[in-house]
Structure 1
Amino acid sequence: MAYLTLFVTAFAAATLLPAYSEIMLGTMLTQGYSLWWLWLWATAGNTLGSVVNGVIGRQVDRFKHKRWFPVSAQQLEKARTRFNRFGQWSLLLGWLPLGGDALTLVGGIMRVPWLNFVILVAIGKGARYAFVLWVVMEAAGVPSESVP
């Protein structure tokens, strides 16, 4: 059940919902949960949350002319131009605390092929969670031999 909670928290953290999976991840590591399972569930949840952003991004063109749409045509064009500067490779930065969610949204708007989208986002998210786990291990003095 704890891994499922981590998955859901990581999923929410990748969307526009306010959630912080790193705190839960670090706490669970210090409580003796498996390093590898923590990494896997956090990465999977966060990647899937970004896929939801990509799906929403693919729907933007349907709604961009509606009065209630929160982004102007100029802002949308500016986002597309910035994304095109580095292309789909920018999805490797989808883990960033500020702007990462927007990158995955724009990746959807730009219709990055799903396989590329998922692989690039998963690499970035997986690297971030590996780094977080390493920092927690170092800070908490968790010896690597004791990590299941």
Structure 2
Amino acid sequence: MAALYGALFISAFLAATILPVSSEVVLAGLIVSGRGDPALLLAVATLGNTLGSVVNWILGRGIDSLRARRVFPVSPERYEQASRTFRRFGEWTLLFAWLPVVGDAFTVAAGAARVNLAVFVVLVAIGKAARYAVIVAGGLWAIA
């Protein structure tokens, strides 16, 4: 059973990075198949995805030296778009770090803007937990 939670954690962590991993599919599959405790699956997915976003925050802190590198997690266009939105709405954009396309860019922009790590983690975790809660609820509804 530990391997099950470990696999979910890894998929959620990697999904928050540049890698094309879908943790939502993994989580939904586990819920629908009745494998694992739904509350624990929610917690593991949220933790993994939030910690993956912390990696992006760290990359944002060193953006000046990393931006031109191939491994940088977002395209220059997405980063500029996210930076504009981040400057306009501030830290509250981190509640939407789960969004496709711009979510990763929000987390990088937060690092570049030197957002306090504790504030970053709380806001990102709230948004990501809410998204995963919807997936868990949908999966439980589907099997009810």
Shorter chain as denominator, the TM-score bin is 0.7 to 0.9
Which runs of 4 or more aligned residues in structure 1 lie more than 6 Å from their structure 2 counterparts after TM superposition? 67-70
1:49-128 equivalence runs, <5 A: 49-63=52-66, 71=76, 79-128=82-131
Q: CA deviation at 1:61?
A: 2.1
Partner of 1:36: 39
Identity %: 46
TM-score (norm 1): 0.84
Larger Rg: 1
Q: CA deviation at 1:26?
A: 1.0
Label 1:82 to 1:18 Cα distance change in 2 as closer, same or farther (>3 A).
same
**Over aligned residues, Cα RMSD in angstroms?**
2.2
Label 1:110 to 1:136 Cα distance change in 2 as closer, same or farther (>3 A).
same
TM-score (norm 2): 0.86
* Separation of aligned partners in 1, 2:30 and 2:84: 41
Q: CA deviation at 1:137?
A: 1.5
